[in-house]
Amino acid sequence: MDSRDNDKGLRLQVYLAHAGVASRRAAEAFISGGRVSVNGEKVSVLGSRVFPGDIVLLDGKPVRAESGFVYLVLHKPPGYICASRDPQGRPLALDLIPEGSSRRLYNVGRLDFLSSGLIFFTNDGDFTARLGHPRSGLEKEYLVDATGPIPGEAAEALARGITIDGVRYQAKEVEKTGRKSLRIVLVEGKNREIRRVFSHFHLHPARLCRVRIGPVTLGDLGEGASRPLTKNELERLNNGHSH
């Protein structure tokens, strides 16, 4: 376990998930099924907590977090800010994560205040730097609904590339999915890129949701919910899989 956990410990199912044993839901089934013990005593009650130095066994085999690092996926709702604090007092995305404040997690990249969707939280600075570097080639996929019809020229300009106020914007993929909607894949992803291009064409997003980062998809994760990255997802991100 991470020695920085506070004295309330960590929920056992969360510990198992962070150790890469299983998803949180599957870990709960392991606990309920009597397959987990802590310090030699079988634990079958959900909500039990473990502390630094505790010995956790699954089916009699030791379970240890591979490192003190945590990698989480959050479905950020609109109206939350991606920052560790906000002078304006706006709600923080970090506060939606149960262990967020005690673990001193931080977001990887950003989603602006009004946007929703997939964002990573971690305490691994190298992971953050690697994914945030333009050379990572990491794809980010968005679904955008506008308040009015989207002219073909706007979609074409984003796909072809357009310079606005001296800044070049260009998407890797742009697909019209409806009269008022687009699917957009970005790689470099400049600050507020989609909103700036929309504004240039006098368009306004009614909804802007990021549904994928590289190999990780939003799936059925509900707004405000979070989960650990799976081992497979983490390996693919670390190995440079852009999609």
pLDDT-derived band of residue 137, with 50, 70 and 90 as boundaries?
Answer: confident
pLDDT attached to residue 23 = 64
The reply to whether 112 belongs to the active site is yes
pLDDT-derived band of residue 159, with 50, 70 and 90 as boundaries?
Answer: very high
Per-range mean pLDDT, top range of 103-107, 121-125, 200-204:
200-204
CATH number for 139-213 (one of 3.60.130.10, 3.40.50.300, 3.30.70.1560, 3.40.1190.20): it is 3.30.70.1560
Q: Give me the CATH topology for the region 10-62.
A: 3.10.290
Burial class for 23, CB neighbours closer than 10 Å (0-12, 13-18, 19+):
middle
Please say if the pLDDT value at position 21 is more than 70. Answer: no
DSSP, collapsed to helix, strand or coil, labels residue 107 as strand
Average pLDDT rounded to a whole number, residues 145-151: 96
Which one of the listed residues 7, 59, 112, 124 is annotated catalytic? 112
Strand 205-213 to strand 181-186: parallel, antiparallel, or no bridges (unpaired)?
unpaired
Residue 76's closest CA among 237, 202, 209, 206? 209
Average pLDDT rounded to a whole number, residues 26-33: 90
pLDDT attached to residue 39 = 95
Please say if the pLDDT value at position 20 is more than 70. Answer: no
DSSP, collapsed to helix, strand or coil, labels residue 156 as helix
Please say if the pLDDT value at position 102 is more than 60. Answer: no
User: Are 132 and 109 a contacting pair, CB within 8 Å?
Assistant: yes
Please say if the pLDDT value at position 99 is more than 80. Answer: no
Tokens of 222: 């509900």
Q: pTM score, two decimals? A: 0.71
pLDDT-derived band of residue 65, with 50, 70 and 90 as boundaries?
Answer: low
Determine the Cα–Cα distance for residues 207 and 198; give it in Å rounded to an integer.
12
Which residue bears the tokens 């309330």? 8
User: Are 216 and 233 a contacting pair, CB within 8 Å?
Assistant: yes
Please say if the pLDDT value at position 2 is more than 70. Answer: no
Domain boundaries, the chain: 10-62, 71-135+215-238, 139-213
Determine the Cα–Cα distance for residues 21 and 231; give it in Å rounded to an integer.
9
Per-range mean pLDDT, top range of 3-7, 23-27, 210-214:
210-214
Name the least confident of 54-63, 185-194, 199-208: 185-194
User: Are 169 and 228 a contacting pair, CB within 8 Å?
Assistant: no
Percent of the chain with pLDDT over 70: 91
User: Are 210 and 142 a contacting pair, CB within 8 Å?
Assistant: yes
Please say if the pLDDT value at position 111 is more than 50. Answer: yes
Please say if the pLDDT value at position 5 is more than 60. Answer: no
Each residue's pLDDT tens digit, 43-52: 998 889 998 8
Tell me, yes or no, if the two domains 10-62 and 139-213 fold the same way: no
User: Are 162 and 202 a contacting pair, CB within 8 Å?
Assistant: no
Please say if the pLDDT value at position 221 is more than 50. Answer: yes
Determine the Cα–Cα distance for residues 98 and 16; give it in Å rounded to an integer.
15
Please say if the pLDDT value at position 127 is more than 90. Answer: no
The CATH architecture annotation of domain 71-135+215-238 reads 2-Layer Sandwich (3.30)
